[in-house]
Amino acid sequence: MYEGRGRTLTKTELKKGEDLEDALRRFKRSVSKSGTMKEARKREYYDKPSVKRKKKSIEARKRK
């Protein structure tokens, strides 16, 4: 499947004889690696540019 903007959606097919729990574990791992959930949380609501700058500044201070 194709999401647009050059990214593909995560797809996990159940292998023959594979337990559903194992397939779910593989799916969760692939979603985690692709950063899909992180991106979804980031885009859950709109942040004004001033709020983005403030968050960026706070993160920079935390790293120091």
Q: How confident is the model over 10-42, as pLDDT tens digits?
A: 888 888 999 999 999 999 999 999 888 888 898
Nearest-CA neighbor of 39 among 5, 64, 14?
Answer: 5
pLDDT at 8 over 60: yes
Dihedral (C-alpha) 41, 47, 53, 54: value to the nearest 10 degrees? -80
pTM over 0.85: no
Q: What's residue 11's pLDDT? A: 86
